[in-house]
Structure 1
Amino acid sequence: MTDQPKPREARVLDAGALRALAHPLRVRLYDILSQYGPQTASSLAELTGESTGATSYHLRALARHDLIREVAGRGTARERWWERPAGMVTLSNPEMENTPSGRAVLEAVHSETLTLRHQQLMQFATHGWDETEEWRDAALIATASARLTATQTRELVQRIQAVIDETVARYRDQSGEGVRPITMRADIFPLPTERGSA
């Protein structure tokens, strides 16, 4: 019998952090910092098409809730570098799920996050042909269906998450020739029950 990796602990965002994140530009900034690493307000303005003043304002709002932080020892008083701390963050909060206003905040954050993910997926689906054959062959877009119990689904999620966790831990800070940011998606959820089924 082999030892199974322990599921990693995720930071559960409190209501204040989720409300701070429930803004389209803040989700974009958070996403860029997550995927591409440290940035300045100026570089984020360039990437998002927003003004430096706007990105700077929203970065400070994210920092107030410890969603991002200033990079220690990097930058100047005029040019601050920001990063997203390493570690898993869950965009769910059980307490907020119990109130209409809390659910509205969670829905706003999830909707904007998934919209960005879908845009990235569609960008690759429509322009991935411009990638080298090596990168095209390395990519995967796949969907499968199975009939599982909640327990079996949880076990599947844990196995997939363990592979993702191991990969992130091993290669998070890798740099060098041929290294690019890669996004890994795992969407596992129940479909609506069939009409007439129990």
Structure 2
Amino acid sequence: MTTPRDPDDGIRDIVDADVLKAFTNPLRSRLYELLALDGPATVGMLAERAGAAVGSVSHHLGILARAGLIVEAPELARDAREHWWQRAQRGIRWSADGFADPSGREIADSLEAQMLDQQHAQARAWLAERDERPDWADVAFAHQSRLWLTPEELTELGEAMAEVLRSFADRDREGREAVLVWARAFPNRP
């Protein structure tokens, strides 16, 4: 079952496997994530934050730009030599079921596995540092529930969770820290 999408929510539905393929490189995923976290940036700024060579970052930004995932922000440049980049959309989404071509499905599945590995690494990094962040350690949480649902009810749950997250998404960044929230829901027999 496909969830109805709001065409004006600023989120791009990716249905082209070649566009999705741009994210299969971990550095490109990281660059897109940095633009989401910190906003527009120059190649040099992104290279420093990602710990990568300027030439490599420039190359990968070109691939993201050709895929329509990022765009230049010329209004931020101080002169013609300075190039700023920003995300082209507020965010992206895709579904492996959205690709009729088996190779597109394979790319989507591979990217989802890569993202799951990154999420697990980020959770492990948090566990390693949480004692140094007592203000956050008291409020960070993990939640797991075993629910008995139909596919329609799982769709309803996903939409309700997305609505709650959207209600927090556009808050001013001042005085706030980036927080990773992820949830997975799937049929599972213990």
Specify if TM > 0.5.
Answer: yes
Cα distance in structure 2, aligned partners of 1:164 and 1:72: 31
Percent identity, aligned pairs only? Answer: 30
User: Retained in 2: the 8 A contact 1:35–1:183?
Assistant: no
Residue number in structure 2 paired with 1:163: 164
1:120 aligns with 2:122: yes
Q: Tell me which of 9, 14, 22 is aligned to 1:20.
A: 22
Mapped to 2, the partners of 1:7 and 1:136 lie a distance apart of 35
Per-residue deviation at 1:96?
A: 2.5
Cα 1:109–1:148 change in 2 (3 A) is same
2:82 & 2:117 partners in 1: Cα distance? Answer: 30
Q: How many equivalent pairs are there?
A: 182
Cα RMSD, aligned residues only: 2.2
Provide closer, same or farther for how the CA distance between residues 137 and 105 of structure 1 changes in structure 2, counting only shifts above 3 A. Answer: same
Q: Give CA-to-partner distance per residue, 1:33-56, whole Å, 9 cap, x none.
A: 223322222122222221000001
Note if 1:38 corresponds to 2:36. no
Contact in 1 for aligned 2:97/2:105 (Cα 8 Å): no
- 2:84 partner SS: strand
Question: Which residue pairs with 1:150 in the alignment?
Answer: 151
User: 1:183 is matched by which residue type in structure 2?
Assistant: L
Aligned partner of 2:146: which letter? S
Aligned to 2:179: 182
Distance change in 2, residues 1:98/1:15 (3 Å) = closer
Shift of 1:135: 1.9
Asked whether the 8 Å contact 1:128–1:136 carries over to 2, the reply is yes
SS in structure 1 at match of 2:182: coil
Matched letter for residue 92 of structure 2: V
Structure 1 spans left out of the alignment, 5+ residues: 1-5
Q: CA deviation at 1:95?
A: 4.9
What are the ranges of 5 or more consecutive residues in structure 2 without an aligned counterpart? none
1:59 aligns with 2:61: yes
Describe the shift of the 1:147–1:93 C-alpha distance in structure 2 as closer, same or farther (beyond 3 A): closer
Q: SS state of the match for residue 109, structure 2?
A: helix
**Aligned partners of 1:175, 1:104: CA distance in 2, in Å?**
36
